[in-house]
Amino acid sequence: MIRDAASSVFAALADPTRRALVEAIARGGEATASQLSAAFPISRQAVTKHLAALSEAGLLRSHRVGREQRYALEPVGLDAATQWMASVGSLWDRRLATLKEQLAAAPQP
């Protein structure tokens, strides 16, 4: 379901450290957990945990280079969230059209 996928994206990005990690990866193209933990005031273990959460939400993809996992952005990870927003928006468009019709059908005496 779209909402479930959107929900996990928003939940993953609700954490400021994770947003900062996503930004750093977006800027740098790709990064390893060691590089990120050198740039952030948190342990490599904590970085790895955040990267796992972001990967699980579909926001990052990774591949192994040598002994390390390299993380890059997965832009389609945002698609579900964007779709969810669009579907809620079109529901409101329909409701507002109904409200306008109602008000027009019963004009002020």
Per CB under 8 A, residues contacting another protein are 3, 6-7, 10-11, 13-14, 16, 19-20, 22-23, 26-27, 73, 75, 78, 81-82, 84-86, 88-89, 92-93, 95-96, 98-100, 102-104, 108
Q: CA-to-CA distance for 5 and 24, rounded, in angstroms?
A: 23
CB of 67 to another protein, least distance (A): 28
CB of 64 to another protein, least distance (A): 23
Shortest Å distance, C-beta 68 to another protein: 23
Cα(83)–Cα(104) distance, integer angstroms: 32
Residue placing its CB nearer to another protein in the complex, 67 or 105: 105
Q: Report CA dihedral (95, 99, 100, 103) to the nearest 10 degrees.
A: 170
Give whichever of 47 and 81 is closer to another protein, judged by the CB atom: 81
Q: Which is nearer to another protein, 66 or 92 (CB)?
A: 92
Of 3, 84, 68, 80, nearest in space to 51 by CA: 68
Helix (H) or strand (E) segment spanning residue 65? strand 60-65
Element (H, E) at 9: helix 2-13
